[in-house]
Amino acid sequence: MGSSRDLSKWLNDAIDNGHIIEFDYDSLKKIEPCWITALSGIKKAYQIEFDRNVALKYLKDDIHKSEDEYYRNLVREVQILTKLNAVNNENIIRFLGISKGLSPKYHYIILQYVYGEDLRTRLQKKFIELSWPSKVKMAKDITNGLNYIHRANICHCNLNSKNIMVYDDKLIITGFDFSIFLDKPYEFLYTLELCDHEMISYVDPQLLMSP
C-alpha cells in the first residue's frame, strides 16, 4: 500500500481536495478517555464550532512495528470510512474527519459520538423485556447496515455485539479497525496478524485452523 511518506501524502491530498475534513485539535475541548480495544482507543471530546460531542479514535502505537504499518492501518480505515459515508446510512457510524493530535505525526479519526450501550450489554440486561417487534427491528437495522457495507465491497471482519451500539432507538455498526476492501485480498492476511480474536465466538472456524 506504500510507505508512510506516500500514505501521508495521500492523506494530505485528500484533505486539500476536500474529500476529508481536517479539524484543528485546539477546537476539541473536554477530552476524556472512554475505552480501549486491541488496536485502538476512543476518547470523547466537545467540538465548540459545531456544539456537539464527538468520538476521537486513535490507533495504538505499541502494536505497530513501524511508522509504515501505522499509516497503512490509518489510511485503510479512513478510506473505508470515507467510502461508507459517501451516502448517509443511519446504521453505520458517521465519519466526520480527522485531526492531528499533540504529535504532528499521528492523527485522530473523528467519528459521530454514540453514547449508550453496546448490543451485547443491552441483550444481557433486557433480552427478556424486549418485545418481538423490537427484536425484529434490531435484526433489520443490522441487516441494513451490513448490506450497505457489503454493497460497498467492504468486509467488516470483526462484526460482533460489542461493535454494534444502541443509540437513538436504532443500532449503529462501529469498529472498523480490521475492515478491508474485498478487492485487496493481501490486506486480509495483514489484518489477521493484528486481530487477537476478540469475541472468539464470532470468528469463522476456518480462520482458526492452522495453515
| CA–CA separation, 166 and 169 (whole Å) | 7
Q: Which residues pair with 46 in a beta bridge?
A: 29, 53
- Identify the residue with better confidence: 71 or 62: 71
| pTM of the predicted model over 0.75 | yes
pLDDT at 184 over 90: no
- The grid cell for 51 is 456544539
Q: Give per-residue pLDDT as tens, 99-121.
A: 987 666 678 999 999 988 999 99
Contact (CB, 8 A) for 45 and 56: yes
Mean pLDDT, residues 24-28: 89
pLDDT at 6: 66
| CA–CA separation, 29 and 48 (whole Å) | 7
Domains of the chain, earliest start first: 4-208 (1.10.510.10)
User: How many angstroms separate the Cα of 98 from the Cα of each of 19, 24, 34, 202?
Assistant: 11, 9, 18, 30
